[in-house]
Chain A
């Protein structure tokens, strides 16, 4: 079993499974966020449920944070190992001749997404934790929509979010379908998986960018 944990294939599978788990989370996150554009009341009630349901808060949230940490920690560890595996560097290496840019630069698109997560955690999660557990403020099921829209008032934050969504799109473009290959799935369904990957990696980040831009352009007027 220790051999399995150390093996390159098991590490690939860890990357794949944690990545797919984050894809599922992304879909769920997007589903809730898009309601902020469609119906603020729905957004408020779903956000309140996510913020106060004990199962979400104390089981799913730690699992999610663990998933993020495993994915980027393993990603860094593998990147370091892979860089060492080259030995001396090539005088001329034409990576563009045989592999797309996105597949060769997952570490960089991933780093941008990670940097975004730090900002995103600061913007929403830290604020939420302080509100609930430090300030011990009372439950207010109507506050989420206002708080979210106000976050996107500054142009700089909206721009940073949109840049991160572009890099997220590039990361998903390679990562989603790649995770199936890592888990040994390469069969008659692979073309469909690749098509779905392209659709998903464009639609979801584009949707997130739209939500950010929509709230920036439609501020709440008091």
Chain B
């Protein structure tokens, strides 16, 4: 199929960007979206032009590196997939596809389609960890009995890959779905109780410091999340935060 691509090109963080039009022929339905961009880049390189920069790593939907706002939606029109799992069969011959970086004040554009998502790393560093004895007496995590329902919910929360689609989709560029998933994956487990009070306070404080917006419960994040992280995590984080604040 033949596609008309409108791609955001930006030299660096301090330069102004703009949409550049490209036409790409010979795209097959079985290609992933990133493979389509690879082909575009091969054409650009062969013509002596600078390739389009985009983030990618595992290309199997688990690393959370690929991003891209495709036709107005993070990771494109498909559900529960990352950009690398999006197949070109979701598009039709002659389609125009607008490809942009995720946009948030806390995710500044580095170049073209690559944004700096280290704000997520700092939120995680602020409290997304547990105390574990690593001095040789490490206790097997499976030795602690955990309610099946809680274990499942914690695992569901832990499947968040930190891609930032929630922020990109949210009309407020809020990072509450990400932060709440990272709070929940520990809050639901006995191992997470030691730092529970400080964790949620520190992670929410860092989230606010990074300049993300406030959640207004539109639910856009849940719909666009490639891992289907639920809004119940945000409610849990709100509960955790309020109870932690009361405890001091």
Interface residues of A (CB under 8 A from B): 1, 3-4, 6-13, 78, 81-82, 84-95, 97-100, 103-104, 106, 174, 178, 181-186
* Complex CA distance for A1 and B242, rounded to whole angstroms: 11
A103 touching B217 in the complex, CB below 8 Å, given contacts A86-B173, A87-B108:
yes
| Other-chain contact of A11, B8, B214, B231 (Cβ < 8 Å) | B214
Assess the B216–A183 pair: CB atoms within 8 A. no
* Complex CA distance for A89 and B104, rounded to whole angstroms: 9
Task: Describe A's contact surface by its main secondary structure.
Answer: helix
**Beta-carbon nearest neighbor of B248 in chain A:** A1
**Complex interface: chain B residues within 8 A of A4 (CB):** 245
* Complex CA distance for A90 and B172, rounded to whole angstroms: 13
Assess the A85–B205 pair: CB atoms within 8 A. no
A184 touching B236 in the complex, CB below 8 Å, given contacts A7-B205, A87-B104:
yes
B201 at the interface (CB under 8 A from A): yes
Chain B residues with a Cβ closer than 8 Å to the other chain, count: 52
A94 touching B207 in the complex, CB below 8 Å, given contacts A9-B238, A104-B171, A184-B238:
no
A91 touching B241 in the complex, CB below 8 Å, given contacts A86-B173, A103-B218:
no
Q: 1/0 per residue B215-239: CB within 8 Å of A? A: 1111110011000000110111111
**Complex interface: chain A residues within 8 A of B238 (CB):** 9, 12-13, 181-184
Assess the B77–A8 pair: CB atoms within 8 A. no
Assess the A87–B100 pair: CB atoms within 8 A. no
A103 touching B216 in the complex, CB below 8 Å, given contacts A87-B104, A93-B72:
yes
B178 at the interface (CB under 8 A from A): no
Assess the A86–B213 pair: CB atoms within 8 A. yes
A95 touching B104 in the complex, CB below 8 Å, given contacts A7-B241, A85-B174:
no
A85 touching B212 in the complex, CB below 8 Å, given contacts A91-B100, A184-B242, A186-B235:
yes
A8 touching B103 in the complex, CB below 8 Å, given contacts A90-B69, A103-B219, A186-B232:
no
**Complex interface: chain B residues within 8 A of A1 (CB):** 245
Assess the A91–B216 pair: CB atoms within 8 A. no
B208 at the interface (CB under 8 A from A): yes
Chain A nearest CB from B165 CB (Å) reads 10
